[in-house]
Amino acid sequence: MGPLPPVTRALLIICVLVFVLQNMAGAEDWLLIHMALWPTLFNDANLPVALGGYPEFRPWQLLTYGFMHGSPSHLLFNGFALWMFGGSLEKFWGARPYLTYVLVAIVGAGMVQWLVGTLGGQPYPTVGISGGVFGVLLGFGMMFPNRQLMLLIPPIPMKARTLVVVYALFELYMGVFTSGGGVAHFAHLGGLATGWLMILYWRGSLPFKPKRILRY
């Protein structure tokens, strides 16, 4: 793959540094309250005592939640996916469009998850760059649709566009028909949808046209 391009490398470094801060005494509770994504009208009388403050939704959480992670395995999985797909996408698009795309995907995924969490009364915060990663996966599948990829589980080869479709259907099923198991499946779907809309916008396929149409 060659050297990791600068934006992807910076995103990985930020995620690692924030995770280190999350595990420092005195910082974990503050970061969780202020930087994780909380549903609106959240109400749990036990949390103010447990966390030293009252968690509530704040607009900046739609971005900051993406750089926090719940566990080493959570960080490792997202980091691996960002390294595997993000580097190629950044080299293809360039640093600025790629950074814009990832940040918009994180925010779009956060908005979907916030809406679902608020309407459904889900009593927990959301963390992780997974929404941005699923946006990157969508972009990779659209830019390199015929590139062969090997899944880890199960270990079978498939084209990139097929992988995107499989993941989208899986996330839709898990989000609608299961309790989620602590995974923000609607954030993943939000990242996919936001990435798709972003690419359509760049291509001039939406009513709101970009200043410069990109033939990606």
Question: Does residue 216 fall inside a structural domain?
Answer: no
Q: What is the pLDDT of residue 125?
A: 86
The alpha carbon dihedral of 167, 187, 117, 112 has a sign of negative
Confidence of residue 49 (pLDDT cuts 50, 70, 90): very low
Question: Residue 197 corresponds to which tokens in the numbers above?
Answer: 């809309």
Pair of tokens at residue 39: 């549903």
21 located within any domain: yes
**Is position 215 within any domain?**
no
Q: Is the peptide bond before 125 cis (omega within 30 degrees of 0)?
A: no
Question: What gap in Å lies between CA 78 and CA 137, rounded to an integer?
Answer: 11
- Cα 132 to chain centroid distance, Å, stands at 3
The Cα 116–Cα 193 span in angstroms is 15
Q: How far apart are CA 177 and CA 34, in angstroms?
A: 31
Q: Which residue in this structure is represented by tokens 């995974």?
A: 183
In a domain, 59, yes or no: yes
Q: Is residue 214 part of a domain?
A: no
- What does 20-84 look like in DSSP terms, one character per residue? HHHTSTTTHHHHHHHHSBPPTT---TTHHHHHTS-----TTHHHHGGG--SSHHHHHHHHHHIII
Q: Is the pLDDT of residue 47 over 70?
A: no
Per-residue pLDDT band for 199 (boundaries 50, 70, 90) equals very high
CA–CA distance, 184 with 190 (Å, rounded to integer): 10
pTM value is 0.88
Model pLDDT for residues 75-128, shown as the tens digit of each residue: 998 998 899 899 999 999 999 999 999 999 999 999 999 988 888 766 678 999
The domain tally of the chain equals 1
Residue 102 is part of a domain; what is its CATH number? Answer: 1.20.1540.10
Residue 26 domain-assigned?
yes
Q: Is 164 a member of any domain? A: yes
27 close to 73: Cβ distance less than 8 angstroms:
no
Please write the tens of the pLDDT for every residue from 155-170: 788 888 888 888 778 7
The domain of 56 spans 6-202
CA 212 – CA 49 distance, rounded (Å): 52
> Is residue 39 in some structural domain?
yes
What is the C-alpha separation between 111 and 106, in angstroms, rounded?
9
Per-residue confidence (pLDDT) for residue 153, from 0 to 100 = 65
